[in-house]
């Protein structure tokens, strides 16, 4: 296990971690605008402004503020129950902010009508933790269902698009299979295929590699990178998986006590002065990044 990790897991993000990265190393990360200042600049795809969210007396998000530029891959990390999933659910309007603003594609999500929210959602792909494949449909049917509803493609056009997308995730022979007949890694990849079949400009990944073996983690992570590099898709990923974060992150936000306590490259976040964050990464990882930084 350690031998397998030594090659890719421990490769520092600040070196050549992201071939084709859309965010040049050293370039300052943009700040979010204040609440009430209108749409963000055109190059900002997603922006959270002082976002608050509570469930009963549980205060989950307490002023989350961040901007995500176009075409980059952002990773959100943090311990369990810190509100990572809650944060990304605001992007697609599955949750509404108690206070603050969420801007996606230049639109304030909470102010959209149902129809406008549906239109915005078509520009966003969302890969759920479990894949969330529809149990009653085959792989082909679930992708066809999405295309039939949202495109004018005829049956041949839809078939071409589905096969092209399945080829892309390297699972072209699964068309007739039901979700229950797929492995965990295949379900994630089919979930990814279904999410991108409408060719969105934003992808949101909720723990895309949880429960997968290291080989599958690399396969899924490489697909996420290809989406960014080949299609220019802006991505926002929640993960606990350091191998995945290492492979895909241009920028990392670390969520602690309802706010983003740290942000930067993975190496910068791993070397945080905050003990909870250092504990999350573990001594081995933190030391490795420190050694790389110091040129040891």
Partner 1 sequence: MASKPAIRSSPAFIESLARVGEFGSFVGDFFKRFWRPPFEWKEVWRQMDEVGVKSFVLTAVTGLAIGVVLAMQSRGTLARFGAEAVLPKMLALSLVKEIGPVFTSLVLAGRVGAGIGAEIGSMRVTEQIDALEVGSLKPYNYLVITRIVACVVMFPILTVWADAIGLFGGFMESYIVGNVDYRVFFASAFDSLTFPDIIVDTGKTAIFGFIVASVSSFLGYTVRGGTREVGQAAMQSVVTSILLILVADVIVVAVSLALFAPD
> What residues line the site for partner 1 (CB under 8 A)?
92, 94, 118-119, 121-122, 124, 126, 128-130, 132-135, 145-146, 149-150, 194
Residues 101-120: b if buried by 16+ CB within 10 A, e if exposed = bbbbbebebeebeeeebeeb
- What whole-number distance in Å separates Cα of residue 295 and Cα of residue 291? 6
If the CB atoms of residues 29 and 145 are measured against partner 1, the closer one turns out to be 145
If the CB atoms of residues 137 and 287 are measured against partner 1, the closer one turns out to be 137
Shortest approach of partner 1 to residue 36 CB, angstroms?
A: 27
| One-letter-per-residue 3-state SS of 59-111 | EEEEEEEEEEECCCEEEEEECCCCCHHHHHHHHCCCCCCCEEEEEECCEEHHH
If the CB atoms of residues 224 and 256 are measured against partner 1, the closer one turns out to be 224
If the CB atoms of residues 57 and 294 are measured against partner 1, the closer one turns out to be 57
Shortest approach of partner 1 to residue 242 CB, angstroms?
A: 24
Residue 29 is classified by DSSP as P
Say if residue 44 is exposed, middle or buried (CB neighbours under 10 Å; 0-12, 13-18, 19+).
buried
If the CB atoms of residues 39 and 134 are measured against partner 1, the closer one turns out to be 134
Q: The tokens of 89 are what?
A: 């659910």
Shortest approach of partner 1 to residue 249 CB, angstroms?
A: 23
- What whole-number distance in Å separates Cα of residue 208 and Cα of residue 191? 10
- What whole-number distance in Å separates Cα of residue 47 and Cα of residue 214? 32
Q: Dihedrals φ, ψ of 235, to 5°?
A: -130, 150
Shortest approach of partner 1 to residue 16 CB, angstroms?
A: 34
Shortest approach of partner 1 to residue 7 CB, angstroms?
A: 33
If the CB atoms of residues 166 and 252 are measured against partner 1, the closer one turns out to be 166
Shortest approach of partner 1 to residue 118 CB, angstroms?
A: 4
């Amino acid at each position: 296990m350690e031998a397998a990790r030594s090659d890719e897991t421990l490769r520092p993000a600040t070196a050549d971690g992201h071939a084709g990265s859309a965010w040049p190393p050293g370039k300052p990360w943009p700040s979010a605008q204040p609440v009430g200042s209108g749409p963000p600049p055109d190059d900002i795809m997603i922006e959270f402004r002082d976002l608050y969210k509570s469930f009963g007396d549980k205060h989950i998000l307490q002023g989350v503020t961040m901007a995500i530029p176009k075409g980059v891959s952002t990773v959100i990390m943090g311990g369990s129950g810190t509100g990572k999933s809650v944060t990304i659910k605001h992007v697609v309007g599955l949750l509404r902010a108690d206070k603050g603003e969420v801007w996606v594609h230049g639109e304030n999500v909470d102010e959209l009508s149902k129809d406008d929210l549906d239109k915005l959602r078509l520009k966003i792909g969302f890969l759920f933790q479990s894949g969330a494949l529809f149990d009653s449909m085959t792989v082909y049917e679930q992708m066809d269902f999405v295309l039939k509803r949202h495109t004018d493609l005829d049956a041949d056009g839809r078939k071409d698009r589905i096969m092209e997308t399945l080829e892309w995730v390297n699972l072209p022979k699964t068309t007739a299979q039901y979700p229950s007949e797929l492995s965990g890694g295949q379900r994630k990849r089919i979930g990814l295929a279904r999410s991108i079949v409408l060719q969105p400009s934003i992808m949101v990944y909720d723990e895309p590699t949880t429960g997968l073996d290291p080989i599958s983690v690399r396969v899924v992570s490489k697909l996420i990178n290809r989406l960014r590099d080949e299609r220019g898709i802006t991505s926002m990923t929640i993960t606990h998986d350091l191998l995945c974060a290492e492979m895909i992150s241009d920028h990392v936000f670390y969520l602690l006590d309802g706010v983003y306590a740290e942000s930067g490259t993975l190496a910068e976040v791993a070397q945080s002065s905050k003990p909870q964050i250092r504990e999350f990464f573990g001594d081995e990882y933190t030391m490795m990044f420190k050694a790389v930084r110091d040129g040891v």
